[in-house]
Amino acid sequence: MASQSPGAKLKAAYADKCVSMPGVFNALTGIMAERKGFEAIYLSGAALTAGHGVPDIGLLSLSEFVDATRFITAKTDLPLLVDADTGFGGPLNVERTISEFEKAGAAAIQIEDQQMPKRCGHLSGKSLVTSSEMEQKIRAAAAARSDPDFVIVARTDAVAVEGFDAAVERSLRYLDAGADIIFGEALETEDEFAEFRRRVDAPLLANMTEFGRSPLLGRYKLEELGYAIALFPVSSLRAAMKAVDALFDQIAGSGTQTDALGSMQTRAELYDLIEYDGYEDRDKKYFGSTN
């Protein structure tokens, strides 16, 4: 029997429940997510750009996103949703975007309705393309996918720019254009999340990013509200960077890392994640006797 496509795996994960989707910022964190039993993972544009030392304003290229995707999907079978910003251009660019991410092994991409230069969804200063422009991109995405189960997530930032009702109206239009999931960004109260679900009858993604406009509701509350995906896009990067910051403070101050050993991943734990022994065993086999 043929195995499920990445998109089909993702659809199965959220078919009858709200699935927790942590952000992974490289292949190693993708492996860790799979070991912890998660069913799907996310590559955040904010995390990827931060890792390159630049803000999330559309500075990285499609190729850089695709390369990061390929590294992650090569090391985990979990379906990966990739933040594709504004689609990397107009409708014809979106066609190529879909093709490249499918070939890289992604299960889904997310496209947002901001104008360039885009902004973090929980900051001020955002501006939107027209609904018609976003619908064109979604239609192009739906037409370009070779796997009908490849998932198209349409994100609207309209709540903070045009208001709640406009966000609902845009979402319904995006669904008609071919979106599979709606991502209503920067909802500000539990009641707004509930009302958005009541008025948008489709699988919905809730962004549970820290230090933003939205309350941190958690997967079980979101499941009660009828959401399909609870997204934790940058949590792992934030935790990792805080730990590195503390470690560097210690080394800079004391000249040694010894007091931090208890909070570090051990060599054995790292080698287990990357399956180092398997590589070593195969290397020995290749140099072994043929007699």
CB 161 within 8 A of CB 126: yes
CB 238 within 8 A of CB 208: no
pLDDT above 50: residue 93: yes
Give the containing element (helix H, strand E) for 10: helix 6-13
pLDDT above 80: residue 220: yes
The domain segmentation of the chain, as residue ranges, is 6-235, 241-286
- Express each pLDDT in 247-290 by its tens digit: 999 999 999 999 999 999 999 999 999 999 888 788 788 887 55
Least confident among 57-71, 208-222, 269-283:
269-283
Residues ≥6 apart with Cβ < 8 Å to 97: 62, 84, 87, 88, 89, 109, 141
Locate tokens 């997967």: which residue? Answer: 219
- Express each pLDDT in 116-164 by its tens digit: 877 665 666 679 999 999 999 999 999 999 999 999 999 999 999 999 9
Name beta bridge partners: 154.
111, 182
pLDDT above 60: residue 96: yes
pLDDT band at 40 (very low <50, low <70, confident <90, very high): very high
Q: pTM above 0.85?
A: yes
At the top level of CATH, the class of 6-235 is: alpha beta
Cα angle 16, 22, 25; round to 5 = 145
What is the pLDDT, as a whole number, of residue 280? 79
Among 53, 67, 32, 177, CA closest to 111: 177
Quote the CA–CA distance of 191 and 173 in Å, as a whole number.
23
Locate tokens 């630049």: which residue? Answer: 54
Q: Report the mean per-residue pLDDT for the chain.
A: 95
What is the pLDDT, as a whole number, of residue 1? 46
